[in-house]
Amino acid sequence: MEKRGYSAFHLGRYERAQEVYTSLISGDHGETPRDVGLYLACVYYYMQMYKEAEQSALEAPESALRNRVLFHVYHKLGDETKLMERHQKLTDTNADQLSLAAIHYLRGHFQEATDIYKRLLLENREDLALNVYVAMCYYKLDYYDVSLEILAVYLQTHPDSAVAINLKACNHFRLYNGKAAEAELKVLKEHGHVLQTNDLIRHNMVVFSNGDQALQVLPSLVEFIPEARLNLVIYYLRNNGVEEASQLLADLSPSTPQEYILQGVVNAEMGQKMGMKDNLKSAQKFFQLVGASASECDTIPGRQCMASCFFLLKQFEDVNIYLNSVKQYMYNDDDFNWNHGLSLAATGNFKRAEEALLLVQNEQYKAEYCYISWLARCYIMNSNPRNAWELYLKMDTSNESFNLLQLIANDCYRMGAFLYSAKAFDVLERLDPDPEYWEGKRGAFAGVFQAVVAGKAPKEDLRDVLAMVRHGGNPQVEYMTRVVRKWAKDANVKIT
């Protein structure tokens, strides 16, 4: 019976193993073997029944295995005091050191885990699985090439390992893209694996495919795969589901940089969407915690976090310092180029801001008024008012198009692009006969006239603005046109 329980456990049939061990403990099959209670604790642990695992282990005789089981149980239960008590009882045996490395890994202490695994590997070259553990650590440390190199040693002997191939695919995803990662997973199919039966691979296939079938796969994995919750949050953020993302993170106390970053992003989204200042303050705090931490301050995510922190504080000179430091790695990232474009424009660096905004490829982003208005302002400040006007012409009539007209009218006036200022004021006046718009158009008309007289603008511009001011029947029009005609006659310029 004991062997049946052992076999069921190692086949992942935990409920069957539980039945066998519980039956043995009840005494239905004679004397209860000494360590069956401890084996049952292992089963409970894998079934995520941590309280039951603790109770069963505590009732078992003292042993190294018992200490390791409780060590892991207290990590899952978040009991730091008892965790440290068990930590102090660990020895230098391979099993205990592997257990310690695993806890370091689970707690995000990847360098500490790496050091233990590498030492064990040097002492036990024949234990090839250690190569996978080291490769996993290097993957978490963002050394993807190194991870692949170490992983190759294990794959030479075990080319059909689902765990190793999946890790290789993850490295390819980080180094290249989702398609490259999916291509690696095809190797598993060739070895007869059914991908949809492996929860971890199902999860990763969603990530590799940029969220395809996320709602069908990820919700059922949230309680079993920690990354599933985070990736579901990312899916919701990408699909305008910030409230759903917030609910997923409501009970999560962040412990890793990724969790802090997502908390920051969700709070920033909630704060901007709902106008909630407390959320914006929380977002700033989360970003600062990551960006200022010793382990993340020199990483790309860490510097982006500090940029986001300063962005929320509206300290755009500091934003640019951090974004410039990682620009070379983010050339094709639409989110980066959007943020960089806005921060550059906010500091008056309109030439570089225009370059950054034009790198954005996402059509949804490019349709947002925030993007259009800042790009229009960059065009105007860079002496390309025609491009700004064409942005307006492409818009449907709406409050946003009206706001853009006001921006073009006023910014062009300030920059001396009087023709396009007059065009914008003319449309504004037609839409709303406010005296303010006539005054703006009149001033722009005078600016065009002055530029033509000075030879700084083509005479055709004068004809265009004359047609504009004649619309509306303002009593000042007659005097204005009379002055222009007199100058045209004296200068022998044809304006009609």
Residues 340 and 392 in one domain: yes
Shared domain check, 402 and 433: no
Between CA 49 and CA 57 the distance in angstroms is 12
How many domains does the structure of the chain reveal? 3
Is residue 150, in this structure, part of any structural domain at all? no
Q: Give the sign of the dihedral formed by CA 176, CA 177, CA 183, CA 188.
A: positive
Distances (CA, A) of 125 to 53, 56, 153, 260, 381: 33, 35, 11, 38, 65
**Domain-embedded: residue 197:** no
- Whether 309 is in a domain gets the answer no
Overall size of the chain counted in residues: 496
The CA–CA distances, whole Å, from 184 to 39, 132, 151, 279, 416 equal: 36, 16, 13, 41, 58
| pLDDT of 235 | 95
Work out the average pLDDT over 290-296.
Answer: 91
Beta-carbon count within 10 A of 89 CB: 14
Query: What's the first-to-final CA gap in the chain, in angstroms?
Result: 106
What are the C-alpha distances in Å from 393 to residues 248, 357, 402, 461? 42, 19, 11, 19
Note whether 408 and 432 are same-domain residues: no
Residue pLDDT, tens place only, 109-139:
899 999 999 999 999 999 999 999 999 999 9
Same domain, yes or no, for 389 and 425?
Answer: no
pLDDT of residue 69 exceeding 80:
yes
Q: What is the token pair recorded at 369? A: 């008024």
From CA 21, how far away is CA 51, in angstroms rounded?
17
Report yes or no on 288 lying in a domain. Answer: no
Structural domain that includes position 399: 330-415
pLDDT of 262 above 80: yes
Tell me, yes or no, whether 45 and 76 share the same domain: yes
- Based on the domain organization, do 10 and 79 belong to the same domain? yes
Tell me if 112 sits within 8 A of 104, measured CB to CB. Answer: yes
- 360 has pLDDT over 60: yes
Mean pLDDT of the chain: 91
Residue 195 has pLDDT above 70, yes or no: no
Paired tokens of 344: 């550059």
Residue 30 pLDDT exceeds 60: no
- Among the ranges given (194-208, 228-242, 302-316), the one the predictor scored with the smallest mean pLDDT: 194-208
Asked if the model's pLDDT at residue 193 lies above 80, the reply is: no
Sign of the alpha-carbon dihedral angle for 178, 181, 187, 188: negative
Answer yes or no: do 408 and 424 share one domain: no
Average pLDDT for residues 271-284, to the nearest whole number?
A: 92
Q: Which two tokens stand for residue 256?
A: 């890793």
Question: What is the per-residue DSSP string for 34-80?
Answer: TTHHHHHHHHHHHTT-HHHHHHHHHTSPP-HHHHHHHHHHHHHHT-H
- The letter for the amino acid at 206 is V
pLDDT band at 453 (very low <50, low <70, confident <90, very high): confident
CB count, 10 Å around CB of 11?
Answer: 10
Is the domain of 11 the same as that of 72? yes
Task: Lowest mean pLDDT of 196-205, 339-348, 355-364, name the range.
Answer: 196-205
Q: Are residues 82 and 2 in the same domain?
A: yes
pLDDT tier for residue 29 given thresholds of 50, 70 and 90: low
391 occurs within a structural domain: yes
Domain boundary among 397, 415, 433: 415
Degrees (nearest 5) of the Cα angle 171, 177, 182?
Answer: 75
Q: Tell me whether residue 76 is in a domain.
A: yes
Given 365, 389, 415, the domain boundary residue is 415
Region 195-219: mean pLDDT is 89
Q: Is the pLDDT of residue 381 over 60?
A: yes
Same domain flag for 334 and 382? yes
Residue 192, classed as helix, strand or coil, is coil
293 backbone φψ class: left, alpha, beta (φ>0; ψ -120 to 50): beta
Residues 62 and 37 in one domain: yes
335 & 395 share domain: yes
With contact defined as beta carbons under 8 Å apart, do 19 and 4 qualify?
no
Decide if pLDDT at 345 tops 60: yes
Give this prediction's pTM.
0.76
Domain final position from 55, 90, 125: 90
27 SS3 class = coil
Any domain includes 43: yes
Contacts of 292 (CB under 8 A, 6+ apart): 306
Predicted confidence band of residue 1 (pLDDT cuts 50, 70, 90): low
Residue 465 has pLDDT above 90, yes or no: no
Q: Tell me what the mean pLDDT of segment 301-319 comes to.
A: 96
Q: For the domain that residue 12 is a member of, what is the CATH number?
A: 1.25.40.10
Q: CA torsion sign, 160 to 162 to 164 to 170?
A: positive
DSSP 240-306: T-HHHHHHHHTT----SHHHHHHHHHHHHHHHHHHT-HHHHHHHHHHHHHHHTSTTTTTSHHHHHHH
User: Residue 432 pLDDT more than 60?
Assistant: yes
Structural domain includes residue 374: yes
Within 8 A by CB and 6+ apart from 192, the residues are: 160
- Split at pLDDT 50, 70, 90, the class of 472 is low
User: Average of pLDDT values for 199-212?
Assistant: 91
What is the model's pLDDT at position 422?
94
Are the beta carbons of 238 and 265 closer than 8 angstroms? no
Provide mean pLDDT across the span 249-258: 87
What is the percentage of the chain residues whose pLDDT exceeds 90?
69
Determine whether 15 is exposed, middle or buried from the number of CB atoms within 10 Å of its CB (0-12, 13-18, 19+).
exposed
What values do phi and psi take at 328, rounded to 5?
Answer: -65, -20
Q: For residues 334 and 482, what is the distance between their CA atoms, to the nearest angstrom?
A: 53
pLDDT bracket for residue 369 (50, 70, 90): very high
User: What integer is the mean pLDDT of 192-216?
Assistant: 86
